[in-house]
Structure 1
Amino acid sequence: MEESMESVIHKADAFMKNGNEQACLALLSNLCVQVPGNSDAWLKYALALDHFSKEEEAIPVYRKSMEIGLDYESERTALICLASSYRNIGQLDLATETIVRTLKKYPDNIAAECFYSLILADAGRSRKAVQLLGRALLKSLEPAAFEGFKGALDFKFSALTE
């Protein structure tokens, strides 16, 4: 490869920031052909597809990046984004399955919980969505932010049932 992977990714990022979808995606697609065993290249390509609202194309690319093998944090990102992409194309069962798997592997991950709440809301489970989102909020903020209402809010969010 004539250019380093980092250089290609840097150029692709610049194209993405400037809204040059075609150039960005072409660079990253070619990079994946040049280094087919590099999971980070595949993940970067999937994220770019997602950025340009090409979720249906991004899904198999996310799956490929995970199949090759990602590090812990990159896999978390790929799983959350995969679930979100499934949600965005209306595949709520696959979105739910993916985000539940994500939460089992990355328990108490606030971002995953937030995406799960969006999936639940889209699935018509708004009470459960509010419960999950509210409890995530309570876990992530300092108790002082609630001005003495944290216990009451926790009780109320916990009491929400479908």
Structure 2
Amino acid sequence: MSNLEQAVRWRQEGKVQEAIELLQEITVQEPENANVWYQLAWAHDSLGLEREAVPHYEKALSLGLSDEDRAGAILGLGSTYRTLGQYEQAKVWFETGMKEFPAYREFEVFYAMVLYNLGEHAQAMQRLLVQLADTSSDKRINDYNRAIRYYADQLDRVWE
């Protein structure tokens, strides 16, 4: 098992501080390894150390990641910016994620959260309602799928 695999295992087992220490050692040995920076960011996020996670996400993204890891890093960075109250930066990253990974629905959901934070409540609700209509396996929700979609962008409309 490589040191990186060990660090990931430790993070998954809840030994996050140990994982961070090992990952920091690996970054010294392999400073151009994007996966190490991504895992370091993830480990910091796991401990609620969002401010410390940001530069690690940015470094990982600048070095290049596989598609799956890039999607995770973009979502992680956007979510971290959102929790830090840096909503415009979060919005940009979620938009990047939606553009690069249009099939990854989680970006729409997190984007809706940041729209809410920015006071764009109608657009946030619209996006969430569409995701609900698209993904629900609940029979009763599916029975009203057309109505949910129809009203999703007309939440403020009053019919006379």
In 1, Cα distance between equivalents of 2:93 and 2:72: 12
How do 1:61-80 and structure 2 match up within 5 A?
A: 61-80=56-75
- Structure 2: gaps spanning 5 or more residues: none
Does residue 120 (structure 1) correspond to residue 115 (structure 2)? The answer is: yes
Equivalent of residue 138 in structure 1, options 104, 109, 133: 133
Q: Which residue of 2 aligns with 1:41?
A: 36
In 1, Cα distance between equivalents of 2:74 and 2:36: 16
When residues 32 and 160 of structure 1 are mapped into structure 2, their CA distance, relative to the original with a 3 A threshold, is farther
The alignment's TM-score, normalised by the length of structure 2, stands at: 0.87
Q: Which residue of 2 aligns with 1:152?
A: 147
Which stretch has the larger CA shift, 136-145 or 68-77?
Answer: 136-145
Count of residue pairs brought into register by the alignment: 156
8 Å contact kept, 2:8–2:19: yes
8 Å contact kept, 1:113–1:132: yes
8 Å contact kept, 2:108–2:128: yes
- Structure 1: gaps spanning 5 or more residues: 1-5
What percent identity do the matched residue pairs reach?
Answer: 28
When residues 129 and 67 of structure 1 are mapped into structure 2, their CA distance, relative to the original with a 3 A threshold, is same
Shift, 1:13, TM fit: 3.8
The alignment's TM-score, normalised by the length of structure 1, stands at: 0.86
Q: Which residue of 2 aligns with 1:101?
A: 96
Shift, 1:66, TM fit: 1.1
Shift, 1:20, TM fit: 3.9
Equivalent of residue 21 in structure 2, options 19, 26, 40: 26
8 Å contact kept, 1:49–1:58: yes
Q: Which residue of 2 aligns with 1:3?
A: none
